[in-house]
Structure 1
Amino acid sequence: MSEEKTTTKKRATRRATVDPKTVALAVVEAALEKKALNAEIIDVRGKVDYADYVVVMSGRSDRQVNAIVRGIEDHLREKHGVRAVGVEGLPRGHWALIDFGEVVVHVFHEDTRGYYDLEALWLDAARVSAAD
């Protein structure tokens, strides 16, 4: 009986690892399904120590920002078995952050995105095409 418990515990703690670039591309795919605007994947490897990729996008309304965030979370969980470490900024909908570990996602209301201009922090960083 103790062997059965051990096996169950191993299954429960086993977690598939997904390449960070695959996660970033899946984020954009899910966001575009919710009509996200100007999704951009920024390769920040070697530039920051908290992530490999930063994904930035926007929505036209608070409601759309919330829908994009929920769509991304659902898609990554259902299709790739990846859960967010944390989500901040909901339900307000001006700026939401989803932390997937090596991939950090910023979903802005389009007016808020222009104000903060996060992409300018990494002007020298490579961009990853969603077509890759």
Structure 2
Amino acid sequence: MPNNAQESSLSSVLVTAGEGTLHTEQDSSLQLAIAAANAADDRKAADITLLRVADISTLADYFVIVTGFSKAQVRAIAGSIKDKVEEELQRTPIRTEGQSEGSWTLQDYGDVIVHILMPQEREFYNLEAFWGHAERVDFTAIDQQRMASH
């Protein structure tokens, strides 16, 4: 539930389960994941994927996985996510890894872990397959709902 006016007015979204069923979900972790995905989209990230891993992992509630096509773009996406999440939700990453190298940057917010990878790293590590039992959050449905609410 939003606790201040700056948080997203989006209170529930569709989540696609592995079996293709839909249900609504509401929580601050999802709001953070959505903010990160929107910031990545603003920087032209590709293949934006949100995975709900809360039921299968103690690492986080959500993973946000995105592709940047150059080290500079990976860094720009990471900066945009950090700025947007801090501005909208007053949260900063607990830890950031890979920022200086630039081919895979990880931002750990505790309940949400953001992976920003270049195509080669994304294909090699294949996080979506590794976390194949996770629910995929339909980012396009979220984005359409967000636009309709404005």
Asked if 1:91 is matched to 2:91, the reply is: no
CA apart distance, 1:58: 0.8
Q: When the two structures are superposed, what TM-score results if normalisation uses the length of structure 1?
A: 0.84
Whether the 8 Å contact between 2:64 and 2:112 is mirrored in structure 1 is yes
CA apart distance, 1:91: 1.6
Q: 1:27 aligns with which of 14, 27, 36?
A: 36
Aligned counterpart, 2:61: 52
CA apart distance, 1:88: 0.5
| CA displacement, residues 50-75 of structure 1 (integer Å, 9 cap, x when unaligned) | 10001111100000000000000000
CA apart distance, 1:124: 2.0
Asked if 1:105 is matched to 2:114, the reply is: yes
Q: Distance in 2 between matches of 1:59 and 1:106?
A: 10
Q: Distance in 1 between matches of 2:90 and 2:134?
A: 28
Give percent identity, aligned residues only. 34
Tell me the C-alpha RMSD between the 2 structures: 1.4
- 29-38 vs 122-131, which deviates more? 122-131
Structure with the higher fraction of residues in helix conformation: 1
| CA displacement, residues 95-123 of structure 1 (integer Å, 9 cap, x when unaligned) | 11000110001000111110111111121
Aligned counterpart, 2:13: none
Aligned counterpart, 2:16: none
Of structures 1 and 2, the larger Rg is shown by 1
SS at match of 1:98: strand
Q: When the two structures are superposed, what TM-score results if normalisation uses the length of structure 2?
A: 0.74
- 25-34 vs 118-127, which deviates more? 118-127
- Return 5+ residue gaps in structure 1 as ranges: 1-15
**Deviating runs (4+, > 2 A) in structure 1?**
none
Whether the 8 Å contact between 2:94 and 2:108 is mirrored in structure 1 is yes
Q: 1:73 aligns with which of 55, 66, 82?
A: 82
- Return 5+ residue gaps in structure 2 as ranges: 1-6, 8-26, 143-150
Aligned pairs, how many? 116
